């Protein structure tokens, strides 16, 4: 029987010939929330793009499996169809493409024919209600003129409609004020509580621990210089908030972590 989980073993990756990831080991279980924290330049986003197949990121070693399937052997679109979702730090605008049409096309690509128009409409309105979002989002063009908070809420709606097995949220808290951050946390928690989303595993990539005040992590990992140097429970995020990353660096240098 195949092992479940998003399983990363010894992953190494380079960008323009420079090694960024230096042997990442990480397992995200179904229904769990893992937080990956680290200062800017530590390799967090490189991990996200390497997992999803960005062509600028060359995997040079290690393996990644998604519920037993070799993820690295698949093209980017196939990785998405297998059940991997990436929420971008800076979502792109797509003028001329309505949100409702965009999400329906994405859903059809992943699950062809499973939602006729009437059922799709029923489902998306149910998700809007769960996420406390207004239906006025649907005719608007994707991220065109959206505030930072609206862009992140739209990604949460996409997450709800696509129902992936594993979701990577890359710096979702970037540029958000407290109210928007709380709203994003509430949407993730609402999705986790829903029947369709309760088995989704999350990898939350963040620089600051503030988003973890709204989304409870089962495990926190600290990345420095392309490697995960220590892992622990939610209390590890409190250490970072209180002492910053320098304490972790000192512990690693002293052989404590």
Reported as a single tens digit per residue, the pLDDT across 39-97 is 989 999 999 999 999 999 999 999 999 999 999 999 999 999 999 999 987 888 999 99
**What local confidence, expressed as pLDDT, does residue 1 receive?**
53
pLDDT at 173: 75
Please state the pTM of the whole predicted model: 0.91
pLDDT below 50 — which residues of the chain?
257
Radius of gyration for the chain, computed over Cα atoms and rounded to the nearest angstrom: 18
- pLDDT of the residue at 86: 94
Does 6-253 carry CATH code 3.20.20.70?
Answer: no
The pLDDT score that the predictor gives to residue 2 is: 67
What residue segments make up the domains of the chain, in order of their start?
A: 6-253
Nearest to 165 by CA among 2, 55, 5, 38: 5
The dihedral over CA atoms of 68, 52, 181, 160, expressed in degrees to the nearest 10, equals -60
pLDDT of residue 257: 47
């Amino acid at each position: 029987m195949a092992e479940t989980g998003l399983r990363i073993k010894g992953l190494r990756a380079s960008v323009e010939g420079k090694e960024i990831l230096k042997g990442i080991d990480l397992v995200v279980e179904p229904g769990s929330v893992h937080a990956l924290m680290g200062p800017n330049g530590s390799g967090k986003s490189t991990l996200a793009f390497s997992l999803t197949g960005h062509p600028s990121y060359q995997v040079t070693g290690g393996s990644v499996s998604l519920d037993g399937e070799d993820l690295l052997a698949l093209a980017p679109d196939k990785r998405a169809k297998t059940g991997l979702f990436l929420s971008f730090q800076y979502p792109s605008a797509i003028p001329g493409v309505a949100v409702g049409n965009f999400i329906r096309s994405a859903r059809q690509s992943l699950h062809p024919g499973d939602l006729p128009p009437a059922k799709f409409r029923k489902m998306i309105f149910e998700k809007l209600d769960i996420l406390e979002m207004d239906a006025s989002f649907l005719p608007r063009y994707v991220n065109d003129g959206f505030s930072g908070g609206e862009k992140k809420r739209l990604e949460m709606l996409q997450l709800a409609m696509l129902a992936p097995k594993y979701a990577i949220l890359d710096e979702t808290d970037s540029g958000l004020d407290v109210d928007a951050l709380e709203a994003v946390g509430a949407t993730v928690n609402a999705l986790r509580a829903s029947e369709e989303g309760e088995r989704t595993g999350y990898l939350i990539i963040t620089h600051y621990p503030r988003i973890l005040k709204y989304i409870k992590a089962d495990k926190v990992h600290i990345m420095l210089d392309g490697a995960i140097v220590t892992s622990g429970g939610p209390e590890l995020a409190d250490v970072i908030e209180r002492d910053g990353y320098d304490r972790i660096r000192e512990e690693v240098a002293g052989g404590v972590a």
